Amino acid sequence: MMRRTLANAVVALVVVAAAACSSRSEEPVSPEASEPTATLELAEAELVPGGIVVDFKDGTTEEQFDAWESEWAVDLEFNSVESADDGLTVAVGVDDVESALERIRQHPAVEFAEPLLAYRASFTPNDPEYGKQWNLKMIDMPKAWDSSKGKGVVVAVLDTGIAYEDYDEFKQVPDLKSVKFVKGYDFVNDDEHANDDHGHGTHVAGTIAQATNNGEGVAGVAFEATLMPVKVLNHFGSGTSADIADAIRFAADKGAKVINMSLGGGGFSKTMASAVEYARGKGVTVVAAAGNAGRARVEYPAAYPGAVAVSAVGPEGTRAPYSSYGKELDVAAPGGDKRQGDEGGILQNTIDPRNPARSVYASYQGTSMATPHVAAVAALLYAAGAKGPDEVEKALYEGAKRVNGQAWTDEYGHGLLNAQASLEALGVGGGVQWPSLWWAVVLLALVLLTLGRRERPGFLNILLTPTFALPLLLATVGVFFARSFFGGADGAAGDVVNAVSLPIPDWQRIIFGRGKLANPLFYSALIPTVLSFFAIKFRGLRPAIGGLALGFAGFLGYAAWSKAPGLAYMPFTFLAMPWLVVNTAICVFVARAMLKKEKA
């Protein structure tokens, strides 16, 4: 029965739904708006280790194929209640898949037999022009969006400004209307209105966080991030080292976690180098364009120590001819190559530089266009729990797709940017959710503060007791290192590894299958509440159940804050949020009851 459950978990199939720019197109695109919906796109299939699918002729009975199993050395079962009619069966734990399939295919009752494939649901925006954004598919964004969308991370765009507000002759471009902004600054004109009078900065900002799944225009990489508009380049696209250095320090001091600089071309400046060092010292990831000179020399500021230098590739995944490169290069990203037309460029909503109030959808190319892809993925990593520039860069570089199998080249750095692989390198793909642990710690402090001094247990006794800490960790981050040590295990052992490497609420993925909707019974206070009843008789269980309840509270609280995931079986999708909030509160109540010291 356990094998049958695991087979169902992996067989679930998804529903298929349909520096400066070297050139640009300013003809507006007029997409027809549609109702915002999230569809599913068929993702790349993966083989299920030891799994096969066998389709028998209609009418074949279980008794019949049971008699053939010993000859084939497999254990087949009907895949579902429909299979008794259509003859579809599955087997898992097959030692030699190819040999088994060869034997099975020779039987006259078999219509076909093949390896078992696994698919996963991927978020696909409904933005009408998303289909033209080859760049987002190149860096594996449909999968990455399932794990992070950059929520709450501030990205400073040091550029020509952003069309983010209606002010004087300036107008916000339509596809940035629902994007969050924090106050920036215009270092060119020395005022607080960092509006774009060129178009470059708005285009860059769109790649980072264009409003997405809004039924309009195009999509952005980290569309739940917050943008900080910082104008350092004038109408002609030029600026000074003093303004840029001041802007770097401004962004770092005002809360930016990522700074994007799609600019370059000047020589070494101690002033700017010091500013980059300052920002990195404050925990900010600085990303800059390698340059558009097409030569073997990375331009400043990308070449400064502490900056992530980005080169550009075209739709074919090879270095664009204009892209500079060299020993300081860190990573490559889609920057466009329009030799074959606008389709090869990076499409975003921006302004007509001749009329800042006029919105256009324009196709640009340049390392300027590659850089915001990397900055946005850095935002995804911070939102997923990365602690600083070192951890972000490690994940970026480990997740980059190697070019010609080489760990590093002067044209591509560590390889071609891959958002999903970088999140997995951080641990998100494996289920690690560090923010859940921090939520649990904060809620623990709340519990201790609401208990009277005589009711409060010893502080160190709680934190240092394994019976309390271990359940808390299992509920928030799981045994996150299990896959690193035992990730190659197959069959039942592999299933155990997959389970314990996830936080306990996410064990529902193993039981019910991994999909876009989570099982609400696991994403609830049910487990700690039921276990708390055992503590009535067995009081020694109270610290462990208290830790488990706090872990669930942290996990559910973070899930509510990040607005993910959706919950199955809800009659209305908006009910997911109150469900998570209420169950977080119940878990805190249970934890408080378990940790409360009894009166003597």
Active-site entry in 22, 140, 175, 200 = 200
Residues 566/567/570/576 CA torsion (nearest 10 deg): -70
Query: 45 is written with which tokens?
Result: 């299939």
Active-site entry in 159, 197, 330, 337 = 159
Q: What is the DSSP letter of 28?
A: P
- What SS3 class is residue 409? strand
* 273 vs 189: CA distance, rounded Å: 23
- Print the SS3 string covering 137-148: HHCCHHHHCCCC
Q: Under the phi-then-psi rule, with left for phi > 0, alpha for psi from -120 to 50, and beta for the rest, what region is 341?
A: left
Active-site entry in 147, 241, 363, 368 = 368
Q: Are 531 and 541 in contact (CB under 8 A)?
A: yes
Residues 74/79/431/478 CA torsion (nearest 10 deg): -70
> Where are the extended beta strands (E) located within 337-416?
346-352, 355-364
User: Is 122 assigned a catalytic role?
Assistant: no
Cis peptide before 503 (omega within 30 of 0): no
* 253 vs 233: CA distance, rounded Å: 20
User: Is 193 assigned a catalytic role?
Assistant: no
Give how far Cα 88 sits from Cα of 7, 78, 114, Å. Answer: 13, 6, 11
User: Is 373 assigned a catalytic role?
Assistant: no
Annotated catalytic residues are 159, 200, 368
